[in-house]
Amino acid sequence: MTKLTLGAHPFLLGFEQLERLVERTAKSGNEGYPPYNIEQTSETSYRITLAVAGFAEADLSITVEDNQLVIRGRQADDSAGRMFLHRGIAARQFQRSFVLADGVDVGEAIMENGLLHVDLKRAVPESVVQTIKIKRNDT
């Protein structure tokens, strides 16, 4: 029995990358840290909010790599000479990845009260109607 993949379906011409995109998303390795929200702020815009308490702007980096939004956090180790009786505030590095659809652009990033907000905007494609002329083949 032959396995029919999503990208190989005869009605999905040109969607071969969709299966690779789904696999890449599943392999992104995102843990539960830091927690985040994704909200739709309008019909064409979104906001990703990450809880990054304890991180300064200089500890964070935001990049777009191959249609993938990557947010990284790395804090300097400032525990030298300090003795913690309890250490419950996470001070570990992280990487969060979000796969972006074609036409989604990253806008601004804002730090506010320990939350990092990253705004996304989806471009609305123009509706294009193309008429194909049918030639007659008289052979």
Does the structure show a pLDDT above 70 at 65? yes
- Report yes or no on 130 lying in a domain: no
Contact partners, residue 128, CB within 8 Å, separation at least 6: none
- Looking at the structure, tell me whether residues 50 and 69 fall in a common domain: yes
Q: What are 92-106's pLDDT values in tens digits? A: 899 999 999 889 999
pLDDT band at residue 87 under the 50/70/90 scheme: confident
Q: Is 90 helix (H, G, I), strand (E, B) or coil?
A: coil
pLDDT at residue 119, as a whole number = 98
b/e code 92-108 from CB counts within 10 Å (16+ = b)? eebebbbebeeebebee
Looking from the CA of 132 toward its CB, the CA atoms found within 13 Å total 2
Claim to verify: residue 51 and residue 8 sit in the same structural domain: no
Residue 64 inside a domain? The answer is yes
8, 37: one domain: no
Q: Which domain holds residue 22?
A: 1-30
The residues near 130 (Cβ < 8 Å, ≥ 6 apart) are none
Residues 3 and 35 in one domain: no
Asked if residue 93 is part of any domain, the answer here is: yes
Whether the per-residue pLDDT at 88 is higher than 60: the answer is yes
The pLDDT tens digits of the residues spanning 96-136 come to 999 998 899 999 999 999 999 999 999 888 889 999 999 99
Give the predicted TM-score (pTM) of the model. 0.70
Give residue 33's pLDDT. 87
Does residue 100 lie within any of the structural domains?
A: yes
Tell me the range of 6-20, 38-52, 68-82, 90-104 where mean pLDDT is highest: 38-52
- 14 and 44 part of one domain: no
Q: Mean pLDDT throughout 85-98?
A: 86
Local structure of 27: helix, strand or coil:
coil
